[in-house]
Amino acid sequence: MPRDFSALVARLRGTDDVQLVVCASERDAAHPFLVRSASLHLPPLAGRVAELDRVIAEYAADAVADLGVAPGTITDGDHAWVRQHATSSLPEIEKVTLRIAALRASSNMSYAASRLGVAPVSLTRWIDRRNLRPVLAVT
């Protein structure tokens, strides 16, 4: 158990405002803990096309904040590229927006890689696999 478990239990016993969120797949739908009228079912990202622009924008804002770079670092063109080429999953959108923000805000590949905590050669290969050089005009 976590060190603060006892304190957490005491705090939760003293409140009526407790929410429990359980993440599970369809195979667990009949589990006794999950059979409640307040279940939330989130369809796969591919089925939520109308939400993609907002998801991309939110991840882009997070990337800008995480890296401490200027708002607007990720351009409308970058947003469109992500929408067209990198929306298979939330982690993919997160990774792509973070890397684009680092590349846009850095004077060179080495500095961008350093910001991301990756090797420059790894970042270069990642860019080349996605044919991003023309989009980013990266040297």
- Report the alpha-carbon distance of residue 14 to residue 80 in Å, rounded: 49
> Does residue 122 form part of some domain?
yes
> Does residue 21 form part of some domain?
no
What is residue 42's predicted lDDT score, i.e. its pLDDT? 74
> Does residue 98 form part of some domain?
yes
- From residue 17, how far is each of 14, 67, 75, 111, 127 by CA, in Å? 9, 35, 41, 46, 47
Number of domains in the chain: 1
For residue range 120-134, list pLDDT tens digits in order. Answer: 999 999 999 988 888
Residue pair 94/87 in contact by the 8 Å Cβ criterion:
no
List, in order, residues 6 or more apart from 75 with CB less than 8 Å away.
104
> Does residue 33 form part of some domain?
no
Q: Is 19 exposed, middle or buried (0-12, 13-18, 19+ CB in 10 A)?
A: exposed
> Does residue 111 form part of some domain?
yes
> Does residue 69 form part of some domain?
yes
pTM, to two decimals: 0.71
Print the domain residue range for 87.
Answer: 45-136
> Does residue 127 form part of some domain?
yes
For residue range 47-71, list pLDDT tens digits in order. Answer: 888 999 999 999 999 999 999 999 9
Residue pair 56/83 in contact by the 8 Å Cβ criterion:
yes
Confidence of residue 136 (pLDDT cuts 50, 70, 90): confident
Q: How far is CA 99 from the centre of its chain?
A: 11
List, in order, residues 6 or more apart from 123 with CB less than 8 Å away.
99, 103, 109, 112, 113, 116
> Does residue 83 form part of some domain?
yes
